[in-house]
Amino acid sequence: MKLIILDRDGVINHDSAAYIKSPQEWRPIPGSLNAIARLNQAGFHVIVATNQSGIGRGLFDMTALNAIHEKMHKALAQAGGRVDAIFFCPHAADDNCNCRKPKSGMLTDIAHRLNTPLRGVPLVGDSIRDLQAAAAAGAAPILALTGNGKKTQRAGGLPPGTTVYADLAAAVDVLAA
Protein backbone atom coordinates (compact mmCIF):
# COMPACT_ATOMS: atom_id res chain seq x y z
CA MET A 1 0.00 0.00 0.00
CA LYS A 2 1.35 3.41 -0.98
CA LEU A 3 0.69 5.59 2.03
CA ILE A 4 1.46 9.16 3.06
CA ILE A 5 0.63 10.91 6.32
CA LEU A 6 0.09 14.66 6.44
CA ASP A 7 -0.18 17.09 9.31
CA ARG A 8 -3.12 19.44 8.77
CA ASP A 9 -2.49 22.95 10.13
CA GLY A 10 0.55 24.47 8.46
CA VAL A 11 0.79 21.80 5.74
CA ILE A 12 -2.65 21.59 4.14
CA ASN A 13 -4.12 24.82 5.48
CA HIS A 14 -2.87 28.05 6.99
CA ASP A 15 -2.21 27.78 10.71
CA SER A 16 -3.08 30.27 13.43
CA ALA A 17 -1.59 30.87 16.87
CA ALA A 18 -5.22 31.28 17.98
CA TYR A 19 -6.12 27.83 16.52
CA ILE A 20 -8.38 27.02 13.59
CA LYS A 21 -11.72 26.97 15.43
CA SER A 22 -14.31 27.16 12.66
CA PRO A 23 -14.78 26.38 8.97
CA GLN A 24 -14.53 30.11 8.24
CA GLU A 25 -10.97 30.12 9.63
CA TRP A 26 -9.87 27.14 7.51
CA ARG A 27 -8.02 28.34 4.39
CA PRO A 28 -5.95 26.02 2.20
CA ILE A 29 -2.32 26.80 1.52
CA PRO A 30 -1.98 27.53 -2.22
CA GLY A 31 -1.15 24.34 -4.10
CA SER A 32 -1.87 21.96 -1.20
CA LEU A 33 -5.22 20.67 -2.45
CA ASN A 34 -3.87 20.02 -5.95
CA ALA A 35 -0.85 18.30 -4.37
CA ILE A 36 -3.17 15.91 -2.52
CA ALA A 37 -5.05 15.24 -5.77
CA ARG A 38 -1.71 14.40 -7.44
CA LEU A 39 -0.91 12.01 -4.58
CA ASN A 40 -4.26 10.29 -5.12
CA GLN A 41 -3.59 10.05 -8.86
CA ALA A 42 -0.19 8.48 -8.10
CA GLY A 43 -1.92 5.79 -6.04
CA PHE A 44 -1.24 7.10 -2.54
CA HIS A 45 -3.64 6.66 0.34
CA VAL A 46 -3.59 10.03 2.10
CA ILE A 47 -4.04 10.09 5.88
CA VAL A 48 -4.16 13.22 8.04
CA ALA A 49 -2.69 13.04 11.56
CA THR A 50 -3.31 16.23 13.52
CA ASN A 51 -3.06 17.48 17.08
CA GLN A 52 -6.25 19.38 17.91
CA SER A 53 -5.67 20.55 21.48
CA GLY A 54 -8.22 23.32 20.98
CA ILE A 55 -10.81 20.66 21.84
CA GLY A 56 -9.09 19.82 25.12
CA ARG A 57 -8.73 23.51 25.87
CA GLY A 58 -12.44 24.11 25.27
CA LEU A 59 -11.83 26.49 22.32
CA PHE A 60 -14.05 24.44 19.98
CA ASP A 61 -15.97 21.18 20.05
CA MET A 62 -16.33 18.06 17.91
CA THR A 63 -19.15 19.64 15.91
CA ALA A 64 -16.82 22.48 14.88
CA LEU A 65 -13.95 20.07 14.11
CA ASN A 66 -16.26 17.95 11.95
CA ALA A 67 -17.46 21.09 10.11
CA ILE A 68 -13.84 22.14 9.47
CA HIS A 69 -13.04 18.71 8.09
CA GLU A 70 -16.19 18.72 5.96
CA LYS A 71 -15.04 21.99 4.39
CA MET A 72 -11.62 20.44 3.75
CA HIS A 73 -13.19 17.33 2.16
CA LYS A 74 -15.40 19.47 -0.12
CA ALA A 75 -12.49 21.69 -1.18
CA LEU A 76 -10.39 18.60 -1.91
CA ALA A 77 -13.19 17.05 -3.97
CA GLN A 78 -13.40 20.22 -6.06
CA ALA A 79 -9.65 19.86 -6.72
CA GLY A 80 -10.08 16.19 -7.64
CA GLY A 81 -8.53 14.89 -4.44
CA ARG A 82 -9.47 13.12 -1.24
CA VAL A 83 -8.18 12.27 2.20
CA ASP A 84 -8.81 8.63 3.10
CA ALA A 85 -8.88 9.15 6.88
CA ILE A 86 -8.30 11.78 9.53
CA PHE A 87 -6.76 10.85 12.87
CA PHE A 88 -6.59 13.49 15.59
CA CYS A 89 -5.57 13.98 19.18
CA PRO A 90 -8.13 16.10 21.08
CA HIS A 91 -6.02 16.37 24.23
CA ALA A 92 -4.27 19.41 25.66
CA ALA A 93 -0.48 19.22 25.95
CA ASP A 94 -0.57 18.75 29.72
CA ASP A 95 -2.90 15.71 29.46
CA ASN A 96 0.20 13.56 28.82
CA CYS A 97 -1.65 11.25 26.42
CA ASN A 98 0.11 8.86 24.07
CA CYS A 99 -1.64 10.10 20.92
CA ARG A 100 -0.39 13.70 20.92
CA LYS A 101 2.59 14.25 18.65
CA PRO A 102 5.58 14.14 19.34
CA LYS A 103 4.58 10.81 20.87
CA SER A 104 3.90 8.15 18.27
CA GLY A 105 0.59 6.74 19.56
CA MET A 106 -1.53 8.29 16.81
CA LEU A 107 0.82 6.91 14.16
CA THR A 108 0.87 3.49 15.83
CA ASP A 109 -2.93 3.56 15.70
CA ILE A 110 -2.82 4.38 11.98
CA ALA A 111 -0.46 1.45 11.34
CA HIS A 112 -2.67 -0.89 13.39
CA ARG A 113 -5.94 0.17 11.75
CA LEU A 114 -4.49 -0.02 8.24
CA ASN A 115 -2.56 -3.19 9.06
CA THR A 116 0.59 -1.80 7.51
CA PRO A 117 4.01 -0.92 8.89
CA LEU A 118 5.03 2.73 8.76
CA ARG A 119 8.71 2.04 8.02
CA GLY A 120 9.66 4.55 5.33
CA VAL A 121 6.14 5.99 4.97
CA PRO A 122 6.49 9.74 4.30
CA LEU A 123 5.05 12.03 6.96
CA VAL A 124 4.88 15.71 6.02
CA GLY A 125 4.73 18.18 8.88
CA ASP A 126 5.71 21.72 9.75
CA SER A 127 6.73 21.32 13.39
CA ILE A 128 9.44 19.44 15.24
CA ARG A 129 6.80 17.34 17.03
CA ASP A 130 5.49 16.06 13.66
CA LEU A 131 9.00 15.04 12.66
CA GLN A 132 9.78 13.47 16.05
CA ALA A 133 6.58 11.41 15.92
CA ALA A 134 7.46 10.27 12.39
CA ALA A 135 10.97 9.21 13.46
CA ALA A 136 9.64 7.42 16.56
CA ALA A 137 7.18 5.45 14.42
CA GLY A 138 9.79 4.57 11.77
CA ALA A 139 8.20 6.84 9.17
CA ALA A 140 10.22 9.17 6.92
CA PRO A 141 10.06 12.74 8.31
CA ILE A 142 9.53 15.51 5.78
CA LEU A 143 9.55 19.18 6.79
CA ALA A 144 7.36 21.58 4.82
CA LEU A 145 8.54 25.18 5.18
CA THR A 146 4.95 26.44 5.35
CA GLY A 147 3.19 27.10 8.65
CA ASN A 148 5.83 26.80 11.37
CA GLY A 149 8.26 25.05 9.03
CA LYS A 150 10.79 27.87 8.62
CA LYS A 151 10.90 28.41 12.39
CA THR A 152 11.31 24.65 12.89
CA GLN A 153 14.19 24.54 10.39
CA ARG A 154 15.94 27.52 12.05
CA ALA A 155 15.63 25.90 15.49
CA GLY A 156 17.53 22.85 14.25
CA GLY A 157 17.52 19.44 15.88
CA LEU A 158 15.67 17.78 13.01
CA PRO A 159 15.57 13.98 13.21
CA PRO A 160 18.19 12.23 11.08
CA GLY A 161 17.06 11.70 7.50
CA THR A 162 14.56 14.58 7.50
CA THR A 163 14.06 16.01 4.03
CA VAL A 164 12.96 19.60 3.58
CA TYR A 165 10.70 21.10 0.91
CA ALA A 166 9.24 24.56 0.35
CA ASP A 167 5.69 23.22 0.73
CA LEU A 168 3.53 20.14 0.27
CA ALA A 169 3.38 20.69 -3.49
CA ALA A 170 7.19 20.63 -3.76
CA ALA A 171 7.35 17.42 -1.72
CA VAL A 172 4.71 15.84 -3.95
CA ASP A 173 6.73 16.81 -7.04
CA VAL A 174 9.35 14.32 -5.79
CA LEU A 175 7.14 11.72 -4.06
CA ALA A 176 4.62 11.30 -6.88
CA ALA A 177 7.15 11.47 -9.72
Q: How far apart are CA 22 and CA 65, in angstroms?
A: 7
Task: Say whether pLDDT at 134 is over 90.
Answer: yes
The catalytic position among 9, 15, 126, 167 is 9
Considering only CA atoms, give the Rg of the chain: 15
Per-residue pLDDT reduced to its tens digit, 44-70: 999 999 999 999 999 999 999 999 999
Pair 76, 83: CB distance under 8 Å:
yes
**Is 7 considered catalytic here?**
yes
Mean pLDDT of 70-95: 97
Q: What is the pLDDT of residue 94?
A: 92
The active-site residue, picked from 7, 15, 126, 130, is 7
Per-residue model confidence (pLDDT) at position 148: 98
Write the single-letter amino acid at 133.
A
What per-residue confidence (pLDDT) applies to 1? 86
22 phi and psi angles, rounded to 5 deg: -155, 160
pLDDT given for residue 169 in this prediction: 98
Which among 105, 83, 87 has a CA at the least distance from the CA of 168? 83
Query: Does residue 126 carry a catalytic annotation?
Result: no
For the chain, domain boundaries: 3-175
What is the CA 116 to chain-centroid distance, rounded? 18
List pLDDT tens digits, range 16-40: 999 999 999 999 999 999 999 999 9
84-126 pLDDT per residue, tens: 999 999 999 899 999 999 999 999 999 999 999 999 999 999 9
3-175 CATH choice from 3.30.70.250, 3.40.50.1000, 3.40.50.10860, 3.40.50.2020: 3.40.50.1000
Cα(171)–Cα(177) distance, integer angstroms: 10
pLDDT tens for each residue of 135-147: 999 999 999 999 9
Distances (CA, A) of 139 to 96, 162, 167: 22, 10, 19
Backbone φ and ψ of 124, nearest 5°:
-100, 120
Residues 63, 22: Cα–Cα separation, whole Å: 10
Q: What is the pLDDT of residues 145-162, one digit of tens each?
A: 999 999 999 999 999 999
pTM value surpassing 0.85: yes
> What's the pLDDT score for residue 177?
87
135, 157, 171, 173 from 177: Cα distances, Å: 24, 29, 10, 6
Closest CA to 85 of 19, 6, 170, 171: 6
